[in-house]
Structure 1
Amino acid sequence: MNQHRVQDMMQLMASRIDAIADHISDQEVSAFISELLNAKRIYVMGAGRSGLVAKAFAMRLMHLGMTSYVVGETITPALQKGDLIVVLSGSGKTKTIIEIVQTAKEIGGRICLITSNPDSSIGKIAVSTVMIENYRDNIPDESREYDTRQMLGEHRSFAPLGTLFETAAMTFCDAVISRLMEITQTDESELKGRHANIE
């Protein structure tokens, strides 16, 4: 089995994320940012690795001065009508997530979904959906795509078990925070002031 440099694998992932970014809708992003800015309280959730991305996003929203919570944490308060719940789910089909989202909808929560499957049951009840591709996309550099196939084999994924969605979602969420900083004219020093100081 061939051995490959970690740095090369990073560059291949970066090229895929670059292609994914080119296909994200400006309208979807604008609608999502509008929901975030208009929300009094933001709840964020996801399962597995998507849940870790969700936690990181919730933390950055808090640093930005927004009221944010992670669904499932012991100190998370009850959802109320009008609260926003941001769901990260590549498939949009995770049963435990669907059940929570349906309950949130019944309470009167507004659902935002970051996904690769906007036609999922969650997507159908979301007020805002941002689609992040989770499959082989058009790569601007065809020679790099050829190198990928040569290195890894035609049918072998270099980013196993949804890694590319989660990595792209993490990058997207960080970029959203950067955009929110611009809109709210928040300085990085303000974020540092809200960073944990008793760890």
Structure 2
Amino acid sequence: MATMKYAAAIVDELYRSVERIAAEEAEKLTALILQSDKVFLAGAGRSGLIGRAFAMRLMHMGIDAYVVGETVTPGIGSSDTLIIGSGSGETASLVSMARKAKSVDASVAAVTIAPESTIGSLADMTVKLPGSPKDKAAGTYTTIQPMASLFEQTLLVFYDAVILAIMDKRGLDSGLMFGRHANLE
């Protein structure tokens, strides 16, 4: 029975977290994606896995979306956008990617707990997501969950909300998107 109490507590934390996301920032990211030729997703660890899921949904809508580091990922250019999901905004490999994208005049968006971080400072726009930092010394914990779980869950829900907003703007539904679903499974 304790497991389901934990599940209910997680859902409650996630609800409170999503309520704190600025609508203007979400709309700005949605608009940036729609004006980009290609969209690149990056993140480390679990945030990277969530970025991969977001890239897949973007592809289902006909948006040229790529995961940084895959063998089929093309180069980024000035009409493209790199979206980095990083709780801390300080992951060295992601900082390097942001700098490279900026060096070719690509847009950079950071989805992070820390807009004042290195990645946030390099970004053209940030979306601040609530979540507990990995290091207790960096801030107070407001979650029962370990490490960055609340941020990662909020990131998934936020990315899915962006997908729904784009679907609405483009007049898409799941049926139309299913035509782009993988069929070699």
If the length of structure 1 is used for normalisation, what is the TM-score? 0.85
- What is the SS of the residue equivalent to 2:66? strand
Q: 1:134 to 1:156 in 2, by over 3 A?
A: closer
Q: Which moved more, 1:5-14 or 1:115-124?
A: 5-14
Q: Which residue of 1 aligns with 2:116?
A: 119
Q: Which amino acid aligns with 2:104?
A: I
Question: Does 2:116 align with 1:130?
Answer: no
Q: Which residue of 2 aligns with 1:9?
A: 6
Q: Which residue of 2 aligns with 1:68?
A: 65
Question: Does 2:180 align with 1:194?
Answer: yes
Following superposition, the deviation at residue 38 of structure 1 comes to 0.6
Of 43, 46, 49, the match for 1:49? 46
Take 1:180 and 1:11, find their aligned partners in 2: how far apart are those partners?
29
Q: Which amino acid aligns with 1:62?
A: M
Q: Which residue of 1 aligns with 2:154?
A: 168
What is the Cα-based RMSD across aligned positions, in Å? 1.6
Of 94, 105, 109, the match for 2:106? 109
Take 1:194 and 1:7, find their aligned partners in 2: how far apart are those partners?
36
Q: Which residue of 2 aligns with 1:148?
A: none
Following superposition, the deviation at residue 156 of structure 1 comes to 10
Take 2:119 and 2:125, find their aligned partners in 1: how far apart are those partners?
10
Following superposition, the deviation at residue 178 of structure 1 comes to 1.0
Following superposition, the deviation at residue 46 of structure 1 comes to 0.2
Of 85, 90, 104, the match for 2:87? 90
Q: Which residue of 1 aligns with 2:138?
A: none
Take 2:50 and 2:99, find their aligned partners in 1: how far apart are those partners?
21
Which entry has the higher C-alpha Rg, 1 or 2? 1
Gaps of 5+ in 2: 134-140
- What is the SS of the residue equivalent to 2:83? strand
Q: Which amino acid aligns with 1:133?
A: P
Q: Which residue of 1 aligns with 2:19?
A: 22
Following superposition, the deviation at residue 159 of structure 1 comes to 1.4
Q: Which amino acid aligns with 2:86?
A: S
Take 1:132 and 1:177, find their aligned partners in 2: how far apart are those partners?
17
Q: Which residue of 2 aligns with 1:158?
A: 144
Q: 1:95 to 1:54 in 2, by over 3 A?
A: same
Q: Deviations over 1:68-101 (max 9, x none)?
A: 0000001101111121001000000001110111
Instruction: Tell me the number of residue pairs that the alignment of Structure 1 and Structure 2 aligns.
Output: 178
